[in-house]
Structure 1
């Protein structure tokens, strides 16, 4: 194949002219790209520092910072190719369709992610708090992006989805420093109520784990067909709560035995059953 020198020269001149005409766009596009990458790095570093100062969860900090990083990179890439003169409308439409498809397929996961962010931002509970939610009770071991890890009283691990957790009722037993036990002791109708109340009060006073303030309460709760139910409500710190419940019941039984008072065959522990396991 014979190449015409004049044709080669014509192609070279055309290419050089196109390069000269296009070089301002090319140079400005790469200036935008380099400057944009530097600015994105500064923004990402600033956001990470700000979230650390706000004492956000490290997992959420890294995740949000990475999302922001890639969002800014996509915006920079679209600006870069737009500056080169490439049509971006189709590209943006494709990205939108992909985002919609991913969002629909990960709807449950996105709900859990949003729930995790709400939990970390508004802090209804923290790590090491004892909570009751979604029918389970345990100590918060870790707050992850999609699930919260609980350790139960018998050392079982439970993962609760953050979406359901953030939208449901949460009982936080550790948010306040002290707790009140709600115990019920049943005695027969042959028992003198005042003597029984005095014995229970003495048991509470002799227990150093029972707080003096707020004052413990002993009162008649209800009169059933076969028993007088006494409400026993001592206060204790979160650390001593379980021991106070157990020691109160044991102390009352031993004191009643000494006094010759017979307790009914059942003892209903309204809060003790569900809370002491924590």
Structure 2
């Protein structure tokens, strides 16, 4: 029959159960205290990042990454307290991370580019930009992709790697823009009067800034026309409206003043053979 040996049980409890219980309790304390400390650190980090005026999406992402790394250290410390050999665990996690990184090179490139876009902010939501082979108004910027809306209301989703790896033109970055136009008149037209009319059109448009002053100058004596460059400055939001209205006024005023606007034409000469 089974004999109850109090001494052996006491020895077993003293040598194994109690130390294990103490280690388990300490591991739980390390985990709980570590989790609380990580929470405090993450909150402080979030406040610091928010004061730096980083994008909310980037702040949340950086907080999540920092929390994951810190909690990993807490878990490793807890397992060490239980006597678990964490060296092999760290090695396995490192190998798994390397394998995942190699299999997701394209995604990681887009991820890194997304972080850079959110940190350096070459553009923001609402800006009209040309980047990644597309042009449109930026709708949103995520970690992996940027979504734009084109002028004809098409939605374009562009990988961030394609954007950050090329040129970025932000048409909304500055408060003012220069409108570059070319206006041609015929060689028989009054050049000085044409220049005066162009100046009058610019002066009559309140959207055109007085400073910097509009540039109106003869740029080229072309094959069939004398070409003026007209370069007024206006608020960025008025760019297209000023350009379209100015061209319309040029046609109307030139017609009133009898100033000819050349257009391409072809002369065809027919030679009749006489037999």
Same fold at TM > 0.5: yes
Contact 2:187/2:225 (8 A) holds in 1: yes
- CA-to-aligned-CA distance 1:212-260 (integer Å, 9 cap, x gap): 1111111122222222221111111112111110011111111111111
SS, match of residue 247 in structure 2: helix
Give 1:9 shift.
5.9
CA distance in 2, matches of 1:250, 1:67: 56
Among 142, 154, 157, the residue aligned to 1:156: 154
**Partner of residue 82, structure 1:** 80
The structure with the largest alpha-carbon Rg is 2
Q: How do residues 174-213 of structure 1 correspond to structure 2 at under 5 angstroms?
A: 174-213=172-211
Give 1:41 shift.
1.0
Give 1:24 shift.
4.3
Give 1:164 shift.
1.9
Q: How do residues 1-278 of structure 1 correspond to structure 2 at under 5 angstroms?
A: 2-6=1-5, 10=8, 13-265=11-263
Aligned length: 264
Give 1:187 shift.
2.1
CA distance in 2, matches of 1:223, 1:208: 31
CA distance in 2, matches of 1:21, 1:242: 79
Give 1:54 shift.
2.1
Q: TM-score, normalised by structure 1?
A: 0.88
Contact 2:186/2:261 (8 A) holds in 1: yes
SS, match of residue 220 in structure 2: strand
CA distance in 1, matches of 2:211, 2:236: 15
Can you give the 5+ residue segments of structure 1 that lack an aligned partner in the other structure?
267-278
Can you give the 5+ residue segments of structure 2 that lack an aligned partner in the other structure?
265-275
SS, match of residue 204 in structure 1: helix
Contact 2:58/2:119 (8 A) holds in 1: no
CA distance in 2, matches of 1:160, 1:185: 37
Q: Which has the higher contact order (CA 8 A, sep 6+)?
A: 1
CA distance in 1, matches of 2:179, 2:115: 33
CA distance in 1, matches of 2:58, 2:33: 28
Q: TM-score, normalised by structure 2?
A: 0.89
